[in-house]
Amino acid sequence: GEKTVCWLWYSASLYSRATGGKDGIGIVRAGGVDSKSGLLEALHRYEKQFGCEPFQTYPVTLDLSDGANCEAFHTGHFTTSAVLHKVLWFVKASNGSTGNHIQLIRGDQAAKGIEGPVDVKCTGGPVVCRSTVQCPTPNVVASMNVRDIWTPGQRKFDNRAYLLIASVDPLVVFYRMGHLRYSVLNYKGSEDLDFNVHVTNPRFAYNLTNDTSQFIKPFESLRDELIKQYGPSVGQMRFVTLKQSVMNAMLSIVYAVRGVIEHKELWKDAQGKRFKELNITSWSQVAHAGYELRWSYLFMALDIAFDTRGNAFVLDVNTGPSFYHKMALPEWFRRERSIMMREAADVMQEVAFKKVYARAHNSTGWDLLKNLQLPSFWLPLYNEPNGGAARGPTGDRLLEYGACPRANPL
pLDDT tens figures, 244-280 = 999 999 999 999 988 776 665 444 444 444 444 444 4
Q: What dotted CATH number matches 7-59+148-389?
A: 3.30.470.20
First-last CA distance in the chain: 55
Considering only CA atoms, which of 395, 375, 387 is closest in space to residue 174? Answer: 375
pLDDT at 1: 38
225 pLDDT exceeds 50? yes
230-238: average pLDDT: 97
Q: How far is CA 256 from CA 35, 142, 250, 261, in A?
A: 13, 19, 10, 9
Contacts 24+ apart (CB under 8 A), 389-396: 389/251, 390/247, 392/243, 392/244, 392/247, 392/248, 393/240, 393/243, 393/244, 393/247, 394/240, 394/241, 394/244, 396/244
Please, are residues 356 and 2 in contact by the beta-carbon 8 Å criterion? Answer: yes
Strands 157-167 and 140-144: what pairing? unpaired
**341-380 per-position pLDDT tens digit:** 888 888 888 888 888 777 777 665 578 888 787 777 899 9
109 pLDDT exceeds 80? no
pLDDT at 166: 87
133 pLDDT exceeds 90? no
**69-97 per-position pLDDT tens digit:** 888 887 766 655 545 567 888 988 887 66
118 compared with 201, residue with greater pLDDT? 201
Compute the distance between CA of residue 392 and CA of residue 241 in angstroms, rounded to an integer: 9
Compute the distance between CA of residue 60 and CA of residue 36 in angstroms, rounded to an integer: 13
Compute the distance between CA of residue 5 and CA of residue 348 in angstroms, rounded to an integer: 10
Say how many residues make up the chain: 410
Spans of all domains in the chain? 7-59+148-389, 60-144
Q: How far is CA 246 from CA 219, 332, 381, 400, in A?
A: 12, 22, 11, 14
pLDDT at 283: 42
pTM: 0.83
The whole-chain average pLDDT of the chain stands at 77
